[in-house]
Structure 1
């Protein structure tokens, strides 16, 4: 079995990926499921760690297809047509071992519909061949998510949705920033500054988490720093997984607007308010108020706002907010 090991590299975002999604011809038919966004745009900012559980356990390319089959309340991974093929034990063993070795990753892109790599809605069949349900998870991905519950994981197909794509990349960059913080040596001061930078991003995504995390950070003396840090990153990743809508973004934008009241003139203040309202109504995309805010920050510098991750949570070149 081929086990891939990773260690965290502070200056490199390492992203796990199903090998077929990055263009490797490892599928049952010798083909691939190349995702253009991953293999072109995102590749410029990450280092990929390709994994194919089925090839890793010794299955050939090409090979007979496999599926999840339930019998006697147990799911086995067996051949779709050749019932003599049973890779359940090998796949579980590999998945458990591999998941333990991937602690250096900041995210993972898996292949949809795969009995080994699918993230959700995997078909489970009856031994006689008919479909029982569509609610399973690929064996490898299940082990990965159980071992690394905070790790951003997404399927290739879902990343074609602009909202899900932006949300996933935001979580990857946030999780990597947290890994960098921990690797540098966590202190109370560093944790407070980290939260300060992420306040508006959390505000846009999940108001309840915004309040909860603020309360957690406000009293670091009650618990050990490690315990607070664990609770904080769990809460942060939960908050960022919630997809921000126009209501959440509008709320965050209006709070940002408040910081300009004393520095900008009446015309500029009204122009910003108008753009934010047109975004709220769905007339303008999110990039419109964000671009204006960045322009105002150049003209009227504000150190606190300039450090807000919400203003630029990922590289602008990815253009992930143009369709939001």
Structure 2
């Protein structure tokens, strides 16, 4: 049912943004990092996939397209892939929030951003690509990594769905396709697709050069075989500050998300120090060169006493506090040096483990 709205007779289709293709054809990419591996064991309750992914076209294994035929092959795959995955890319309305999600199981489990789904147990309106509105409910949320799960609450068990990929196969320079409903569901426009490449990937955060806008939050990042490798998370005007939650966050937390648990994990933020506990704080025994603490001016022998204006009494407590902040965040660290109290502003890095 569609709340009494009359459906337009105009045929809708996805908008595919390929304007960056010419730029990508002449761009060169240096592999600055390697993708992290996922754990060998994945929970048995994860949604299963029965269809094997097609072989990746040779053009997507090259550093950049070289010929007109390469560009045509990319365009053909993007159009084919978008037609295939748009059926499982949905718009979400949850309270005042609106965003995007992707169905990943025939039972109707939907991956989205945690800031879209919000707390467990909320009513959700799921808007299908054809405009039909169906009920859903929010399940669990990983607050740290911005991973949320929603479940369609109808009795249907054959929903079109996309397979969840494996972070082990994601490398810097890989091509990807982002889908979303920017600005909310639009019956005439349909879903919007953007082509790009992975520029950073770790176990806890992924970055691409795909342009994102409001309403894309929670939308899927697909590899060029149609597997979900990430979910749109933080969106800014500057492309350098658009980030995605890797699908690994959903693999690792699947059972907790299904059980409607609200939980936190270490964000992967990095300070870059080692130390020993002593009365009143942590004496720094090593400040790693070229890491955030060293760049901010912390030194071996400093006694770290506060982090974000909160007392820190042990190294374990410091690790926990750092993990509550996101990589790239600016934090305040208080130390005692030669009897003098000093404060430093540190921009946190990211751990690779």
| Coarse TM-score class (shorter-chain normalised) | under 0.3
Higher RCO, 1 vs 2 (CA within 8 Å, ≥6 residues apart): 2
Pick the structure with more helix per residue.
1
If the length of structure 2 is used for normalisation, what is the TM-score? 0.26
Pick the structure with more strand per residue.
2
